[in-house]
């Protein structure tokens, strides 16, 4: 039962109870800088439910939802079968929390188990977990895992790894004694010579990405072998859809695989929710942050599912926990496994093939525009880099007015690449859309 102080005397007594004897209620906010305090608590008159709904709809109508997006940079506009929404929206799934009680959570546990199995099939790795927040936190967890396994604290990071993920990684580890060495950026594939120079007996792991942030495809088999010779692990970040065509990280010898799972059945939204993918070899499964679901049998011999490893949970390991990420991301994992189940092996290959072929068509037609250079230093999947004769920021604004999100200006994260723009093409883009994009890009550059 709550109590409201109505009289001046009652308010004064309540303030005294919390150590404010002069009756000045503003003292409650002394710890908040004045620049951050509300100027006034004079709230407008309340509105009815209908009025609030009308105002929100009016605000939302200002969003331009009809733009054709060629924006990638780690997050991609793929087709999502309607069955993904229909099944993931069932109340049994979208209200579920962490399935600690297996007797009451067999559906959720099996969904996570099937998701883990799908990620293992996709990456070629021996074990996968569930419930990492996104690709960037998965990368952080992989680095910490490598440090635990090797007992070393030096991490090599290729600068062509998604800069957003790297920035979050450095933020997470800012108070830790970890030495990061960045492999300088080169057009196309990773700089083997510099990697050889930086790789030594103190290296815990190297971070690589395929395709990299600029869309370039690489085969890291040679790099990973050299890492293993030095006792270091290889962390490979992947774009899941690309694995419908490309060599798997397991085939390259990767020890830990991470990635952003948004492309597997999650729509583009303003900041998520996203899905962190993580997989590893069976050798290192006990060093991988859980939750990990396993299959078992009950006392009657019936198949069942349980949380096998919860090594990261604070309530289990406390200060020995491998991670303190405890929120359940299983709803996003559920969308991913439904998507992969619907697409199937051949469907995923077809989507990946369409992305590749349409991107190649776009590269060829855009490359004919005067002053535009399509970077061709290495093969690409569905994303490629343009060197423009003008500032991409200016071109992007012009293209917005024509109904296109033109791409990502590389200069935002790489100051030396001011005139470079990264363009992504998916299976959703039609030939007509790509043709019109090229036409409007040429117009934005020269009209």
CATH number at residue 330: 3.40.640.10
DSSP 421: E
Residues 193 and 230 in one domain: yes
Statement to judge: residues 161 and 208 lie in one domain: yes
What's the token pair of residue 390? Answer: 């003008």
pLDDT of residue 155: 98
Decide: 150 and 204 in contact? Cβ < 8 Å: yes
Are residues 355 and 300 part of one domain? no
Pair (107, 229) in one structural domain: yes
Q: What is the DSSP letter of 6?
A: -
Gap between the Cα atoms of 182 and 10, Å rounded: 62
pLDDT of residue 1: 44
H or E element: which one contains 386?
Answer: strand 383-387
Please indicate, yes or no, if residue 200 is contained in any of the structural domains: yes
Residue 354: inside a domain: yes
In whole angstroms, give the CA distance from residue 182 to residue 227: 15
Tell me, yes or no, whether 411 and 281 share the same domain: no
pLDDT in tens, 189-235: 999 999 999 999 999 999 999 999 999 999 999 999 999 999 999 99
Report the CATH number that the domain containing residue 414 is assigned in CATH: 3.90.1150.10
Q: Which of 325, 340, 355 is the last residue of a domain?
A: 340
Show the domain range for 388: 68-77+345-446
Q: Do 235 and 293 belong to one domain?
A: yes
Spatial contact of 293 and 307, defined as CB atoms under 8 Å apart: yes
Q: Facing residues of 373 across strands?
A: 387
Domains held by the chain: number: 2
Is there a single domain that holds both residue 156 and residue 234? yes
What's the pLDDT score for residue 344? 96
Cα gap 233→151, rounded to integer Å: 11
Q: Are residues 435 and 411 in the same domain?
A: yes
Inside any domain, residue 58 = no
State the SS3 of 224-292.
Answer: HHHHHHCCCEEEEEECHHHHHCCCCHHHHCCCEEEEEHHHCCCCCCCCCCCCEEEEECHHHHHHCCCCE
The pLDDT tens digits of the residues spanning 393-416 come to 999 999 999 999 999 999 999 999
Domain annotation covers residue 37: no
Task: For the chain, give the number of residues.
Answer: 447
pLDDT at position 357 is: 98
If you search the block for the tokens 């992947």, which residue do you land on?
A: 238
Residue 401 lies in a domain: yes
Which domain-ending residue is among 340, 375, 390?
340
Same domain? For 98 and 226 the reply is: yes
| pLDDT given for residue 117 in this prediction | 97
Q: What is the mean pLDDT of the chain?
A: 92
* In-domain check, residue 57: no
Q: In this structure, is residue 50 part of a structural domain?
A: no
Pick the last residue of a domain from 321, 340, 359.
Answer: 340
Q: What angle do CA 352, 353, 359 make, to 5 degrees?
A: 90
Exposure of 301 by Cβ count < 10 A (0-12 exposed, 13-18 middle, 19+ buried)?
Answer: exposed
Q: Same domain for 131 and 230?
A: yes
Q: Are residues 273 and 149 in the same domain?
A: yes
Are residue 390 and residue 421 in the same domain, yes or no?
yes
Which residue numbers in the chain have pLDDT < 50? 1, 312
Please say whether the dihedral angle defined by the alpha carbons of residues 222, 223, 226 and 227, taken in this order, is positive or negative. Answer: negative
């Amino acid at each position: 039962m709550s109590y409201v102080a109505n009289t001046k005397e009652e308010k004064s007594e309540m303030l005294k109870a919390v150590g404010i004897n002069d009756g000045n209620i503003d003292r409650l906010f002394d710890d908040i800088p004045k620049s951050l305090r509300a100027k006034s608590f004079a709230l407008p008159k309340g509105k009815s439910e209908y009025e609030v709904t009308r105002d929100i709809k009016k605000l939302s109508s200002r969003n331009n939802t009809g733009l054709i997006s060629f924006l990638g940079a780690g997050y991609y506009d793929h087709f999502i079968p309607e069955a993904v929404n229909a099944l993931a929206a069932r109340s049994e799934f979208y209200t579920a929390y962490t399935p600690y009680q297996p007797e009451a959570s067999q559906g959720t546990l099996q969904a996570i188990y099937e998701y883990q199995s799908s990620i293992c099939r996709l990456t070629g790795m021996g074990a996968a977990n569930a419930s990492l927040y996104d690709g960037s936190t998965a990368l952080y967890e992989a680095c910490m895992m490598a440090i635990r396994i090797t007992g070393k604290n030096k991490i090599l990071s290729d600068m062509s790894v998604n800069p957003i993920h790297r920035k979050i990684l450095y933020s997470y580890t800012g108070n830790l004694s970890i030495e990061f060495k960045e492999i300088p950026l080169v057009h196309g594939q990773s700089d083997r010579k510099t990697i050889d120079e930086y790789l030594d007996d103190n290296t815990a792991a190297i971070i690589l990405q395929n395709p990299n942030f600029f869309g370039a495809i690489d085969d890291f088999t040679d790099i990973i072998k050299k890492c293993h010779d030095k006792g270091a692990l290889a962390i490979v970040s992947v774009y899941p859809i690309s694995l419908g065509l490309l060599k798997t990280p397991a085939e390259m010898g990767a020890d830990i695989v991470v990635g952003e799972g948004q492309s597997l059945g999650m729509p583009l939204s303003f900041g998520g929710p996203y899905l962190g993918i993580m997989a590893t070899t069976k050798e290192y499964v006990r060093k991988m942050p859980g939750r990990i679901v396993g299959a078992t049998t009950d006392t009657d011999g019936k198949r069942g599912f349980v949380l096998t490893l919860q090594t990261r949970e604070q309530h289990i390991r406390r200060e020995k926990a491998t991670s303190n990420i405890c929120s359940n991301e299983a709803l996003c994992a559920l969308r991913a496994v439904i998507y992969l189940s619907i697409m199937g092996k051949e469907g995923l290959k077809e989507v990946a093939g369409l992305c590749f072929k349409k991107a190649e068509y776009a590269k060829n037609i855009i490359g004919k525009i005067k002053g535009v250079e399509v970077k061709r230093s290495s093969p690409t999947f569905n994303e490629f880099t343009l060197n423009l004769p003008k500032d991409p920021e200016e071109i992007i604004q012009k293209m917005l007015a024509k109904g296109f999100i033109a791409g990502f200006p590389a200069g935002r994260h790489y100051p030396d690449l001011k005139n470079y723009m990264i363009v992504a093409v998916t299976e959703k883009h039609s030939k007509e859309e790509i043709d019109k994009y090229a036409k409007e890009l040429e117009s934005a550059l020269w009209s």
